[in-house]
Amino acid sequence: MPKHVDPDARRRLVVDALFRVVVREGLHRTSLRAVADEAQLNIGSLRHYFASQQDLMRFAMQSMLDRASSRLLEHVERIGDLEGHPRPEQLQLAAGFLAELLPLDEQRRAEVTVFLDFNTAARTNPAFGDLSRQAAEGTRWLMRRVLTRLDAAGTLRPGLDLDLESERLTALLDGLSLSAVLHPEILNPRACMDVLLAHLGDLSLIIGTPGSAH
């Protein structure tokens, strides 16, 4: 009797294998053969789901975006009613939400590494441009949403340009992510959170920087 194979489970297996190969070798050295070996599958099984390396890369990028979005949606409910929390707690909640985009553990480090490599490839490969732009627009929308909620709760200093601050916050997260992936011995997870909380504290009405949340 033929063995039943769950296509979704198989794709998740392949994507997890792809992430490990990219983290270890880099996207430019990641081939269908390398991913098949990492997933302990034969190359024919892999080609059943992905016709080319480009198809595999697009699926991996979309999977990474979906994973991050799923976690963010879980967290967004926690900051849904910020007015019901003290201001320092509001910043802690917002920082915890934004931290889902930072490489603070093994899973998020793998995702950010794939994200960085993919966006580098997208600079010269138009086949990846739409997903890269989708990610960039989605990040800015999230920054604007978080800052808008903090502003509505009366936590931010009055008169801030939220569009400008959304760009500054996006740039901060991008910079932290890049540095933490390239130089984890210099910028560790605790330091990432301290910098993020300090920035949010500078935008707020709170005197002093709220304590770190890990």
- What confidence score (pLDDT) does residue 152 get? 87
Of 89 and 193, the one with more pLDDT: 193
**pLDDT-derived band of residue 77, with 50, 70 and 90 as boundaries?**
low
pLDDT at 212: 44
Where does the pLDDT of residue 85 fall: very low under 50, low under 70, confident under 90, or very high at 90 and above? Answer: low
pLDDT mean across residues, the chain: 85
Over range 33-51, report the average pLDDT: 87
pLDDT surpasses 60 at 41: yes
Cβ atoms of residues 118 and 128 within 8 Å: yes
pLDDT of 82: 60
pTM: 0.82
Reduced to 3 states (helix: H, G, I; strand: E, B; else coil), residue 120 is helix
Does pLDDT of 146 surpass 80?
A: yes
Give backbone dihedrals phi and psi of 204, rounded to 5 degrees, phi first: -100, 175
- Residue 186 makes CB contacts below 8 A (sequence gap 6+) with 179
| Mean of pLDDT values over 145-173 | 93
Kindly tell me if the per-residue pLDDT of 213 is higher than 60: no
More confident residue, 179 or 50: 179
Band (2; pLDDT cuts 50, 70, 90): very low
pLDDT at 76 over 50: yes
158 DSSP 8-state letter: T
Distance CA(206)–CA(157), nearest Å, equals 9
Tell me the C-alpha distance between 32 and 40, whole Å: 12
Confidence check: pLDDT of 198 > 50: yes
pLDDT of res. 214: 41
Residue 140 CA, chain-centre distance (Å), reads: 12
Q: 88 to each of 33, 137, 181, 193, 197, how far by Cα in Å?
A: 50, 28, 29, 14, 10
- The whole-angstrom separation of Cα 210 and Cα 212 is 7
In terms of Cβ atoms closer than 10 Å to its own Cβ (0-12, 13-18, 19+), residue 203 is buried
